[in-house]
Amino acid sequence: MQGKIKIKLIGSVICTPEKHKIIVRSLGLKKFNQVVERPDTPAFRGFVKKVPHLLALVD
């Protein structure tokens, strides 16, 4: 059984490359400071590492 991670949108996607916007939207994040809960898999952790200036893991 895998755990869950909470991902928070901490930066604005305005004036970011289209690839960054796609990553943020694919996680289900739309609003600033919004938090979503996703399965703790290498794929979701990779999303956060790809755009660390926009996303953060919440404890």
pLDDT, position 2 = 77
pLDDT, position 57 = 96
Contact in structure between 14 and 53 (CB atoms under 8 Å): no
Instruction: Classify domain 4-58 at the CATH topology level.
Output: Ribosomal Protein L30; Chain: A, (3.30.1390)
In our burial notation (b when 16+ CB lie closer than 10 A, e otherwise), range 19-43 reads ebeebbeebebeeeeeeeebeeeee
Inform me whether the pLDDT recorded for 1 exceeds 80: no
Instruction: Give the integer Cα–Cα distance in Å for 4 and 19.
Output: 25
Instruction: Give the integer Cα–Cα distance in Å for 26 and 8.
Output: 13
pLDDT digits 0-9 by tens, 8-51: 999 999 999 999 999 999 999 999 999 999 999 999 999 999 99
Q: Residue 16 CB: number of other CB atoms within 10 A?
A: 15
Sorted by where each begins, the domain ranges of the chain are 4-58
pLDDT, position 38 = 97
pTM score:
0.90
